[in-house]
Amino acid sequence: MKRILIVEDDQSIATLQKDYLELSGYSVKIVNSGPEGLKALGEQVFELVILDIMLPGMDGFEVLKQVREKDDIPVLLVSARAEEIYKINGLGYGADDYITKPFSSGELVARVNAHLAKYERMKERFGKGYDGGKLLVRGLEIQRDSRRVFVNGKEVMLAQKEFDLLFFLFQHANRVFGKEELFERIWGMDALGDVSTVTVHIARIREKIEANPSKPQYIGTVWGSGYRFMV
């Protein structure tokens, strides 16, 4: 039985979510603040987190950032704030989805099912090379926790945003992302510049990890659409 953590300060909403998820076969725990959410994640293993943004003690964005320092489990942000800036920030910090309140319980269950299935496919695709902290494919090893990258056993040095961009593409292997979306996901509202910085960073990453940057085996260009990590 897969375990889900709900971090939500509105008890009535949390209870409704819990009831529907338990009817769908999940084991669910509710906590009501950001610090409680981090404490629960440190004490138990969960397969997915449903995280409200407006929380007492610590907001959902800060909780998400701390979760992403240690874990890659799916995190679904929920909020009554529909402004684009909230969505951009949430996805940029590593959320897998952003759901705007009010939403139906059926929609929530459907999204939970979809993200858990996607996470399981990722683990199966990379087999023992995917353990939540280390990713390995065709000689390229990415160590999330230590933020180190190796190619055929030799370490290559990536700048902060280069690592973030490579790791993000790897997490979403085979999915094509346009430059605009990558810019929003990786640089968010802290960015100064334009989407051309994505092209520059992709070129730098290729120079460091590809045997032949002009014929990349890891990060491919989909002309007219964007980039994808090829597996």
Give the end of a domain, one of 74, 95, 125: 125
For 118, 168, 205, the CA distances from 229, given in Å and listed in that order, are: 16, 9, 12
Q: What is the SS3 assignment for 190?
A: helix
* pLDDT band at residue 52 under the 50/70/90 scheme: very high
State how beta strands 3-7 and 27-31 pair: parallel
**Average pLDDT taken over every residue of the chain:** 86
**pLDDT at site 6:** 97
Q: Which of 203, 218, 109, 110 is nearest to 161 (CA)?
A: 203
Q: Which of 95, 125, 155 is the last residue of a domain?
A: 125
Question: Based on the domain organization, do 143 and 49 belong to the same domain?
Answer: no
CATH number at residue 139: 1.10.10.10
Residue 129 has pLDDT above 70, yes or no: no
User: Are 70 and 140 within one domain?
Assistant: no
- Report d(CA 13, CA 6) in Å as an integer: 10
What DSSP designation does 188 have? Answer: G
pTM of the shown model: 0.60
Q: What is the pLDDT of residues 157-215, one digit of tens each?
A: 988 888 989 999 988 888 888 888 888 888 764 444 567 888 989 999 999 999 999 99
170 lies in which domain range? 133-229
Q: What is the CATH number of the domain that holds 100?
A: 3.40.50.2300
Last residue of a domain, one of 96, 125, 154: 125
Q: Could you identify the residue written with the tokens 């007219």?
A: 224
Cβ atoms of residues 40 and 63 within 8 Å? no
What number is the average pLDDT over the span 83-99?
83
Residue 45 has pLDDT above 60, yes or no: yes
Whether 100 and 146 map to the same domain: the answer is: no
Neighbours of 165 (CB within 10 A): 26
What total of structural domains would you count in the chain?
2
Q: Does residue 134 carry a pLDDT above 90?
A: no
Q: Which pLDDT tens digit goes with each residue over 59-75?
A: 999 999 888 777 778 89
Query: Which pairing describes strands 148-151 and 27-31: parallel, antiparallel, or unpaired?
Result: unpaired
d(CA 195, CA 198): 6
- Residue 79: both structure tokens together: 């909020």
Residue 169 token pair: 């593409």
Residue 107 CB burial class (10 angstroms; 0-12, 13-18, ≥19): exposed
Same domain (yes/no): 9, 119: yes
